[in-house]
Amino acid sequence: MKLFRHGAPGNERPGLLDAQGVRRDLSGVIGDLAPHTLGPDAQARLARLDPARLPEVDPAERLGPCVGQIGNVIAIGLNYADHAAEAGLPIPKQPIVFSKHTAAVSGPHDDVWLPPGAHKLDWEVELAVVIGQPAWHVPPEAALQHVAGYCLANDVSERAHQIEMEGQWIKGKSYPTHCPLGPWLVTADEIPDPQAVDLWLDVNGVARQRGNTRTMIFGVAQIVSYLSRFMRLLPGDVILTGTPPGVGMGQRPPVYLQAGDVVTLGSPVLGEQRQRIVAAPVPA
């Protein structure tokens, strides 16, 4: 299934994309696509529905982040060997783990804010993993059983805040709108091999990133298992699994986003996103 959330920010409602590509509303079936509706029993219930009996959703209506009530956004850095090379960094021996503040989460087509004074705003197309069942000390061979599904993510990053200031990467990763998710939450049964997902990203129509998850250093099962050794992953947690080469920081010379730029990204199985870069509103 391809599931989504639609409506105004903070008031999104659940939906389902039918086989003909028609958006259907699930509000009469579940309250939201959130931790309590991501498990196998809830998914089985949705799979038994006749989509033709569900109300249609106006295709012009805003799409929100495809998961609500997210508890944690955990990310893996330098997880593609060629991306590590373009960053001039050694291949990690263990996953590099950091986090993004959940307030960074936004819809797949929402504007992305350029922070005041920011001059190194960068893009990163990624496969995101959504946890559906608690995972605690799970072996790699059982890890994918804890995954509800997958979605597209843009790990927007302000590199000066991330790298040039003391402290953790989270400072350069957590500005509002800097974690677009969606458009669809693609249930795990539709992606039996998460290491065979094509990813792409363009800026102003210029191809910047082209990659496939098969070149990850640490695969999805390894990542879920590894994280579960240090934290109890919970339904609704989102894991960003790293980005292929082609980020702005890796261009020669580096290229960063400016107000007015348009970023498009996608995957044949995960759908597409489009964001316009705008100056962030500053509180009076």
Cα–Cα distance measured from residue 146 to residue 225, given in angstroms and rounded to the nearest whole number: 10
Query: Into which CATH architecture does domain 67-279 fall?
Result: Alpha-Beta Complex (3.90)
**268 to 40, 121, 200: CA distances (angstroms):** 25, 26, 9
Note the pLDDT of residue 143.
98
Alpha-helical segments (H) within 114-272: 140-143, 159, 220-228
Return per-residue pLDDT of the chain as tens, 284 residues: 999 999 999 999 999 999 999 999 999 999 999 999 999 999 999 999 999 999 999 999 999 999 999 999 999 999 998 888 877 888 899 999 999 999 999 999 999 999 998 999 999 999 999 999 999 999 999 999 999 999 999 999 999 999 888 888 999 999 999 999 999 999 999 999 999 999 999 999 999 999 999 999 999 999 999 999 999 999 999 999 999 999 999 999 999 999 999 999 999 999 999 999 999 998 76
pTM for the model? 0.97
Contact criterion met (CB below 8 Å) for 197 and 267: yes
Q: Domains of the chain: which residue ranges?
A: 67-279
Contact criterion met (CB below 8 Å) for 178 and 104: yes
